[in-house]
Amino acid sequence: MPRQSVWFVRTALLYLGVGFTFGALILWQKGTGMLPLAWLLLPAHMEIVLLGWTLQLAMGVAYWILPRLQVDGRSTRGRQRAVWWSYALLNAGILVVVVAGMRTTSPVQAPAVALGRLAEAVAVALFAWHAWPRVKPAGAGRR
Amino acid sequence: MPTLTRWYLKSALVWLAAAGIVGAAAALSPLLRLPPVLTALRPVYVHVLMVGWVTQLIFGIAHWMFPKPDAARAERGERLGWLTWLTVNAGLALRVVAEPVAAGHPGGAAAWFLALSAVLQLLAGWLFVAATWPRVRSR
């Protein structure tokens, strides 16, 4: 597994653990009513399991298994710098959205969430830009 | 395909079919004046789909396709994998039953089954992380 995929997938696994922990706290509150503040975790729970876990895992595995490109007779996974930027921006965006989502009374909540979403949008666009030429029929090697 | 993967994938397919039924019941509930307790099925529907189907499908494929662990870790990973399968399915099944009941009778025994479901699913998430982490590595 390439280094970029290791980072994507391990980060996704951490988000899986954290996302399930937040979900369990919310469900515990739903049953027992003992943790009313757990409801504050609901937006973070959704963000973490959908983007941090599911999307990030898909990106890590796609980087690993999509067909490689042949450039000047060399096998490559293409635009690697774009993928590192994608990783950094995706996780920065998720963290900003998660933290801002919990600060419901803060006047900077809306702009912070918008900034986080923008970072996530650039991250997925960069990933798509990297992946596009790798989605090709078997044997079609040249870029 | 490893035995554990087959169990994950077949369970995921069962949850996918269940999600269709639960989603339809939740949507039809106000139209057909079904018992109001069925409106509690909306969050159940989302979790049956996302945990029962999507997450469990991922668990199964990851167990199959991720780089193989060394022999010493393989047995431990297999045990953790089966525990994950057990806890995620038991936790989700408990939720499907307990959540609508708890919504209709707050404070009853079903509320504590909901709490138990939370603990089981929490365990499942971290067990999968523990089983999979050593297999995510560079060559």
Q: Give per-residue pLDDT as tens, A38-93.
A: 999 999 999 999 999 999 999 999 999 999 988 888 888 989 999 999 999 999 99
- Whether the predicted pLDDT of B120 surpasses 80: yes
Structural domain contains residue A58: yes
Q: What's the CA angle centered on B36, arms B90 and B115, to 5 degrees?
A: 30
Structural domain contains residue A71: no
- Give the domain extent around A51: 3-66+76-134
pLDDT band (50, 70, 90) for residue A141: low
pLDDT band (50, 70, 90) for residue A143: very low
User: How many distinct structural domains can be found in chain B?
Assistant: 1
**Chain A interface test: which of B126, B127, B135, B139 (most A C-beta within 10 Å):** B126
- Position of tokens 């042949």? A70
- Would you call B59 an interface residue with chain A, using a CB distance cutoff of 8 Å? no
- Would you call A52 an interface residue with chain B, using a CB distance cutoff of 8 Å? no
ipTM: 0.91
- Give the domain extent around B93: 3-135
Structural domain contains residue A107: yes
Q: pTM for this structure?
A: 0.92
User: How many distinct structural domains can be found in chain A?
Assistant: 1
A141: Cβ contacts below 8 Å, ≥ 6 apart: A69, A70
List, for residues B40-99, the tens digit of each pLDDT value: 788 899 999 999 999 999 999 999 999 988 888 888 999 999 999 999 999 999 999 999
Q: Which residues of B touch A1 (CB under 8 A)?
A: 66-67, 136-139
Pairs of CB atoms within 8 A across A/B: 79
